[in-house]
């Protein structure tokens, strides 16, 4: 730590927090908040969400016996205060840096992270699993899930709550409500009611009422229960959660440490046969004025000046792929009223905010609900609209059944704009776009494209607009393009046709996606050694350009494919074609360069690709190895 703090300096683990008084907890919370702001200003990362749960984090570790009591955070981007208080404060400035702390919870990082999470809405399901395991093992440890209100928009959260309520499993769910209108603004009376309803006095009253009515008849006992539910719901608005089998408490002020201590103590000791939900109201970005007034811009930040709040901007004038996509789609939508844009709670991340400003009536943010987003798009497609579902590769995984069942089987022309394709840097393996080539190109009748640069991305968008009889997808990486002029929206691609970039001899490198520039760098180095490969941009993984690949196989001794994806993708389709056509014999050698069969930790993207063996140096070595093996084979023969 770069600063000196009155209490935080002596806090290394939650056991140290328990030595403090409630009044001292308030000072500790202020110090944790200050440390987060200072640290993230140096590293970048998620800021607003963590600032909003500082008091909650302090009190959770004060009340519960972590790590024996399991504390599970949803998404994980609000866990910076949790990391600071659980033995990681001295490493907090290594957040999202190579070999440093993950930006999310990670089981291998700490025993205080019982479940890894970087995608949303998994906390209640995993907490229920742990709680049931405790029950089966006769363990009495508490299980607490903290879920953000945004994550509550996903169906998985309600599936888990329905299961938890029906199973009557003891667990606590804390709903961190920081921007949704689930309830009216909180105040002193609401905090008092929450404490009263969660306390032993209320439970005694409840049980007394039930006993009195049960002495008369079962019918009256039922009415007493209904009256009790009505009383609780009338005060707190917890009808939905009550109906799911949860005992609802709240809402309370999530920044009021005294209220949090009282309510969480009661929730911990409550004598209720089933799950409990504590509803807290918090302010995203709490304690940092710039984040409080601009929650979206300070959700995830680059390095910034603490005093002014100004974030570092990219020094490049080259537009990001995301912006190229958005601006191109806007141009098409100006001419075609059937084009609509869909995002799953990522308008700025996917560029749909740009589209939405121009066409608010044709832009749909469905929340953290990728499954719904895909089927919603399919429904639009049945009525002649042209839906563009802009979803990160890693998040589209969550809707794979819908892609198969609702889109592919019915051959509906949904266009998937797959952002964050390939390795993504600081967010690490949870957000890497590693699998979409494989999971889409395996589907019949799907058009799967990958842009090698921003110009190609524009052409692929142009092409997809007119694909009206089948689904299509185009993938593109995070970050800026390479700095070339963009074509008009009239330039389209012939479906299933690649392009030859450089003519060479003996060996051909077939690129699919954004590794083309690395292929060209490798080509320059190889040329100095007298080796001049043919360089090809495949453009399509499906349909494959079979004529081009056939010709390459006939004219070259070695073929090497390269892609930013896992096994089963473009390279697998090329290998299948070569095998089917009996082209793989001693006169042709084929090598496939793909992401390795492991998850790659967060780092700078170029270092991640080097680690993955997909940088220019690795391509050059692959060529040399393939040529050497060819020589050895000839000598043997």
Q: Which two tokens stand for residue 617?
A: 């140096």
The least confident of 180-194, 335-349, 531-545 is 180-194
Confidence at residue 185, expressed as pLDDT on a 0 to 100 scale? 36
Confidence at residue 220, expressed as pLDDT on a 0 to 100 scale? 44
Confidence at residue 359, expressed as pLDDT on a 0 to 100 scale? 98
Query: What is the distance between the alpha carbons of residues 101 and 118, in angstroms, rounded to a whole number?
Result: 13
For 324-354, what is each residue's pLDDT tens digit?
Answer: 999 999 999 999 999 999 999 999 999 999 9
Binning pLDDT at 50, 70 and 90, where does residue 304 land?
Answer: confident
Q: Are 472 and 497 in contact (CB under 8 A)?
A: no
User: Quick check: pTM over 0.85?
Assistant: yes
Confidence at residue 258, expressed as pLDDT on a 0 to 100 scale? 95
Q: Exposed (0-12), middle (13-18) or buried (19+): which is 570, by Cβ within 10 Å?
A: buried
Query: What is the distance between the alpha carbons of residues 249 and 188, in angstroms, rounded to a whole number?
Result: 15
- Structure-derived torsion over alpha carbons of residues 74, 78, 80, 81, reported in degrees to the nearest 10: -100
Confidence at residue 197, expressed as pLDDT on a 0 to 100 scale? 56
The mean pLDDT of 233-243, rounded to a whole number, is: 66
For 569-609, what is each residue's pLDDT tens digit?
Answer: 999 999 999 999 999 876 899 999 999 999 999 999 999 99
Binning pLDDT at 50, 70 and 90, where does residue 628 land?
Answer: confident
3-class DSSP state of 594: coil
Query: What is the distance between the alpha carbons of residues 119 and 334, in angstroms, rounded to a whole number?
Result: 34
* Beta sheet of 415-419, edge-to-edge order: 363-365, 339-343, 386-392, 415-419, 472-475, 447-450, 540-542
**Stronger pLDDT, 62 or 629, i.e. the higher one:** 62
Kindly list the catalytic residues.
284, 370, 398
Q: Are 372 and 378 in contact (CB under 8 A)?
A: no
Helices (H) and strands (E) in the chain, counts: 26, 19
* 337-376 as b/e: b if 16+ CB within 10 A: ebbbbbbbbbbbbbbbbbbbebbeebbbbbbbbbbbbbbb
Q: Exposed (0-12), middle (13-18) or buried (19+): which is 423, by Cβ within 10 Å?
A: buried
**Stronger pLDDT, 48 or 224, i.e. the higher one:** 48
pLDDT at 631 over 80: no
- CB atoms under 10 Å from CB of 618, counted, come to 18
Binning pLDDT at 50, 70 and 90, where does residue 629 land?
Answer: low
Confidence at residue 250, expressed as pLDDT on a 0 to 100 scale? 85
Confidence at residue 314, expressed as pLDDT on a 0 to 100 scale? 73
Confidence at residue 293, expressed as pLDDT on a 0 to 100 scale? 82
Q: Are 475 and 602 in contact (CB under 8 A)?
A: no
pLDDT at 209 over 80: no
User: How are the residues of the chain apportioned to helix, strand and coil, as percentages rounded to the nearest 5?
Assistant: 45, 15, 35
The mean pLDDT of 416-422, rounded to a whole number, is: 97
- From the list 178, 199, 194, the residue with the least C-alpha distance to 250 is 194
pLDDT at 632 over 50: no
List the beta strands (DSSP E) in 139-289.
Answer: 143-148, 172-177, 247-253, 276-281
- Structure-derived torsion over alpha carbons of residues 262, 268, 272, 278, reported in degrees to the nearest 10: 60
Q: Are 176 and 282 in contact (CB under 8 A)?
A: yes
Q: What share of the chain has pLDDT > 90, as a percent?
A: 75
pLDDT at 208 over 80: no
Q: Are 415 and 469 in contact (CB under 8 A)?
A: no
Query: What is the distance between the alpha carbons of residues 500 and 551, in angstroms, rounded to a whole number?
Result: 11
What residues contact residue 582 under an 8 Å CB cut-off, 6+ apart?
none
Binning pLDDT at 50, 70 and 90, where does residue 309 land?
Answer: confident
- From the list 439, 327, 458, 444, the residue with the least C-alpha distance to 394 is 439
Binning pLDDT at 50, 70 and 90, where does residue 188 land?
Answer: low
Binning pLDDT at 50, 70 and 90, where does residue 200 land?
Answer: low
Evaluate the omega torsion of the peptide bond into residue 251 and state whether it is cis, within 30 degrees of 0: yes
- From the list 231, 278, 305, the residue with the least C-alpha distance to 42 is 305
Confidence at residue 234, expressed as pLDDT on a 0 to 100 scale? 47
Quickly tell me which residue has 């993230």 as its tokens: 40
Binning pLDDT at 50, 70 and 90, where does residue 315 land?
Answer: confident
Dump the DSSP string for 260-289: HHHHHHHHHH---SS-EEEEEE--TTTT-H
- Give the chain's radius of gyration (CA, Å): 28
Binning pLDDT at 50, 70 and 90, where does residue 181 land?
Answer: very low
β-strand 143-148 against 172-177: which pairing, if any?
A: parallel
Mean per-residue pLDDT over the chain, rounded: 89
- CB atoms under 10 Å from CB of 136, counted, come to 8
For 53-89, what is each residue's pLDDT tens digit?
Answer: 999 999 999 999 999 999 999 988 899 999 999 999 9
Domains in the chain: ranges and CATH? 8-293 (3.40.50.970), 321-475 (3.40.50.970), 499-636 (3.40.50.920)
């Amino acid at each position: 730590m770069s600063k000196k703090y009155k209490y935080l300096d002596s806090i290394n683990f939650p056991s140290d927090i328990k030595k403090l008084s409630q009044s001292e907890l308030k000072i500790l919370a202020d110090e944790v908040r200050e440390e987060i702001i200072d640290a993230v200003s140096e590293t970048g990362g998620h800021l607003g969400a963590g600032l909003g749960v500082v008091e909650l984090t302090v009190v959770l570790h004060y009340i519960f016996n972590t790590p024996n009591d399991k504390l599970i955070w949803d998404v994980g981007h609000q866990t910076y205060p949790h990391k600071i208080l659980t033995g990681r404060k001295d490493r907090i400035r290594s957040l999202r840096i190579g070999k440093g702390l993950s930006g999310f919870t990670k089981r291998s990082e700490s025993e205080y992270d019982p479940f890894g999470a970087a995608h949303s809405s998994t906390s209640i399901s995993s907490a229920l699993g742990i709680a049931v395991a405790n029950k089966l093992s006769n363990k009495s440890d508490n299980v607490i899930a903290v879920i953000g209100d945004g994550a509550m928009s996903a169906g998985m959260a309600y599936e888990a709550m329905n299961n938890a309520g029906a199973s009557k499993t003891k667990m606590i769910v804390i709903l961190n409500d920081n921007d949704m209108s689930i309830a009216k603004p909180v105040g002193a009376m609401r905090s008092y009611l929450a404490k009263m309803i969660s306390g032993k006095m209320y439970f005694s009253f409840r049980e007394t009422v039930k006993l009195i009515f049960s002495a008369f008849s079962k019918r009256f006992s039922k009415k007493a229960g209904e009256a009790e539910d009505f009383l609780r719901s009338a005060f707190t608005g917890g009808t939905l959660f009550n109906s799911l089998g949860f005992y609802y408490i709240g809402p309370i002020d999530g920044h009021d440490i005294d209220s949090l201590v009282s309510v969480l103590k009661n929730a911990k000791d409550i004598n209720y046969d089933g799950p409990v939900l504590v509803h807290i109201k918090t302010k995203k970005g709490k304690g940092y004025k710039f984040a409080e007034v601009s929650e979206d811009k300070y959700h995830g930040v680059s390095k910034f000046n603490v005093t002014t709040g100004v974030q570092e901007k990219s020094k490049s004038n080259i537009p990001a792929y995301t912006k190229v996509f958005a601006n191109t789609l806007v141009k098409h939508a100006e001419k075609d009223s059937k084009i609509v844009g869909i995002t799953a709670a990522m308008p700025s991340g996917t560029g749909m905010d740009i589209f939405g400003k121009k066409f608010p009536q044709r832009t749909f943010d469905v929340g953290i609900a990728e499954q719904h987003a895909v089927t919603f798009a399919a429904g639009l497609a049945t009525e002649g609209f042209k839906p563009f579902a802009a979803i990160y590769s890693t998040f589209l995984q969550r809707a794979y059944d819908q892609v198969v069942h609702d889109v592919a089987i019915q051959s509906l022309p949904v266009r998937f704009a797959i952002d964050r394709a390939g390795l993504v840097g600081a967010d690490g393996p949870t957000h890497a776009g590693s699998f979409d080539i494989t999971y889409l190109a395996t589907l019949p009748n799907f058009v799967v494209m990958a842009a090698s640069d921003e110009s190609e991305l524009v052409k692929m968008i142009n092409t997809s607009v007119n694909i009206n009889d089948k689904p299509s997808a185009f993938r593109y990486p995070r970050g800026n393009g390479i700095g070339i002029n963009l074509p008009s929206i009239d330039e389209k691609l012939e479906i299933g046709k690649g392009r030859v970039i450089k003519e060479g001899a003996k060996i051909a490198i077939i690129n699919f996606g954004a590794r083309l520039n690395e292929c060209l760098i490798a080509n320059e180095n190889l040329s100095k050694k007298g080796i001049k490969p043919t360089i090809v941009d495949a453009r399509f993984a499906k349909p494959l350009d079979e004529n081009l690949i056939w010709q390459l196989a006939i004219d070259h001794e070695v073929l090497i494919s390269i892609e930013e994806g896992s096994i089963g993708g473009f390279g697998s389709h090329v290998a299948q074609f070569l095998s089917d056509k009996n082209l793989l014999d001693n006169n042709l050698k084929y090598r496939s360069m793909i992401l390795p069969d492991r998850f790659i930790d967060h780092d700078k993207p170029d270092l991640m690709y080097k680690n993955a063996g997909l940088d220019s140096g690795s391509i050059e070595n692959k060529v040399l190895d393939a040529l050497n093996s060819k020589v050895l084979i000839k000598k043997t023969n």
